[in-house]
Amino acid sequence: MKLKKENTIEDFQVKSLEKDTIKTDEFTSAFEYASIGIGLVSLEGRFLKVNKSLCELLGYTAEEFIHLTFQEITHPDDLEGDLENVYKLINDEIENYQIEKRYFTKSGNVIWINLSGSKVKNLDGTFKYFIAQIENITPRKNAFNQITKQNLRIQNILEGTNAGTWEWNVQTGETNFNARWAEMIGYTLEELEPINIKTWEKFVHPEDALKSEQNLIACFEKKSQYYNCECRMQHKDGNWIWVLDRGKVMTWTEDGKPLMMFGTHTEITNLKETKIELRKSKAFLDTVMNSIDVGIVVCDQNGKLTTFNQSAEEMQGIPFKPVESKDWSANYSLLRTDGITPLPLEEIPLYRALKNGHLENAEFIIQHQSGKQIILSCNGNQIWDQNKNLLGAVVAMTDITEIKKATKLNEEIAIKFKGIFDSTFQFIGFLSPDGTLLEANQTAIDFTGLEPDDLIGKKFWDCYWWSMSEETQEGLKSNIAKAAKGEFVQYEVEVLGKNGSITILFNLKPLFDLSGEVIAIIPEGRPIQEIVDTRNALLRKNEELERFASVASHDLKEPLRMISSFMSLLKKNYGGQIDEKAEKYIHFSIDAANRMTILINDLLNYAKIGNDEVPFVMIDTNQLLEEIVPLFSASLEDQNGKIEIENLPNIIGKITPIKTLFQNLIGNALKYQKPNTSPLIRVKGKEKMSDWEFCVEDNGIGIAAHHFEEIFQMFRRLHSKEEYSGTGMGLATCNKIIKQHGGEIWLESEEEKGSKFFFTIKK
Ligand code: ADP
**Ligand 1 and 731: CB distance under 6 A:** yes
Q: What angle do CA 640, 643, 646 make, to 5 degrees?
A: 160
Give the contacts of 220 (CB within 8 A, at least 6 positions apart): 170, 249, 257, 258
Ligand 1 centroid to residue 239 C-alpha, Å:
101
- Between CA 599 and CA 607 the distance in angstroms is 12
pLDDT of 413? 87
The three-class DSSP label of residue 175 is strand
Q: Which of 639, 664, 668, 749 to mutate to test the pocket of ligand 1 (most atoms within 8 A of CB)?
A: 668
The reported pLDDT for the residue numbered 29 is 80
- Under DSSP, the state recorded for 402 is H
Give distance in angstroms: CA of 620 to centre of ligand 1: 27
Is 726's C-beta closer than 6 angstroms to any atom of ligand 1? yes
Q: CB of 483 closer than 6 A to ligand 1?
A: no
Query: Which residue type, as a one-letter code, is found at position 690?
Result: S
**Residue 92 to residue 334: CA distance in whole angstroms:** 100
* Mean pLDDT of the residues in the chain: 90
Asked whether 303 lines ligand 1 (CB < 6 A), one says no
> Residue 640 — φ and ψ, nearest 5°?
60, 45
Residues of the chain with pLDDT under 70: 1-27, 611
Bridge partners (DSSP) listed for residue 247: 227, 263
C-beta 62 within 6 A of ligand 1? no
Dist. CA 229–CA 245, nearest whole Å: 5
The contacts of residue 476 (CB under 8 Å, 6+ apart) are 460, 461, 466, 493
In the three-class reduction of DSSP (H, G, I as helix; E, B as strand; rest coil), residue 117 is classed as strand
Distance CA 432, CA 657 (A): 40
Distance (angstroms) between ligand 1 centre and the Cα of 711 equals: 7
Please enumerate, as own/partner, the contacts of 549-557 that have beta carbons within 8 Å and a separation of 24 or more: 549/603, 549/604, 549/607, 550/604, 553/600, 553/601, 553/603, 553/604, 556/596, 556/600, 557/597, 557/600
Instruction: Please tell me the chain's helix, strand, coil percentages from 3-state DSSP, rounded to the nearest 5.
Output: 45, 30, 25
Q: Is the CB of 711 under 6 A from ligand 1?
A: yes
**Pairing state of beta strands 437-440 and 427-431?**
antiparallel
**Do the Cβ atoms of 133 and 37 come closer than 8 Å?**
yes
Provide CB contacts within 8 A for 189, sequence distance 6+.
Answer: 177, 178, 179, 182, 195
What is the best residue among 672, 673, 715 to mutate for testing ligand 1's pocket, by most ligand atoms within 8 Å of CB? Answer: 672
Cα distances from 168 to residues 178, 248, 265, in angstroms, run 12, 10, 13
In ligand 1, the atom with minimum distance to the C-alpha of 731 is 6
What does the pLDDT read at residue 179?
87
Q: What beta strand segments (E) does 56-136 contain?
A: 96-104, 110-121, 127-136
Quick one: pLDDT at residue 20?
53
User: How far away, in angstroms, is 732 Cα from ligand 1 center?
Assistant: 10
Compute CA distances 401 → 277, 328, 334, whole Å.
Answer: 39, 21, 15
Which residue from 406, 397, 325, 344 is spatially nearest to 368, judged by alpha carbons?
A: 397
Ligand 1 midpoint to CA 682 (Å): 17
Q: Could you give phi then psi for residue 688, rounded to 5 degrees?
A: -115, 180
- Residue whose C-alpha is closest to residue 585's, from 603, 559, 613, 563: 563
* Contact predicate 490/523, CB 8 Å: no
By alpha-carbon position, which residue is closest to atom 23 of ligand 1?
669
Question: Which spans in 120-230 are helix H?
Answer: 138-161, 179-184, 189-192, 197-203, 206-220
The pairing of beta strand 518-527 with beta strand 500-512: antiparallel
Report the distance separating Cα 542 and Cα 102, nearest Å. 146
Whole-angstrom distance, CA of residue 751 vs CA of residue 445:
60
Residues 6+ apart with CB under 8 A from 595: 721, 727
3-state SS, residue 238: coil
* pLDDT of 24: 58
Pairing of strands 258-267, 295-300: unpaired
Other C-beta atoms closer than 10 Å to the C-beta of 92 total: 11
Q: Is 730 in the pocket of ligand 1 (CB under 6 A)?
A: yes
CA 150 → CA 176, 291, 732, distances in Å? 21, 56, 125
Cβ neighbors of 141 (< 8 A, separation 6 or more) are 100, 112
| Residue 209: alpha-carbon gap to chain centroid | 48
Query: Is the shortest distance between the CB of 707 and ligand 1 below 6 Å?
Result: no
Residue 745 DSSP label = E
Give the single-character DSSP code of 345. Answer: G
Query: Across-strand partners of 376?
Result: 364, 399
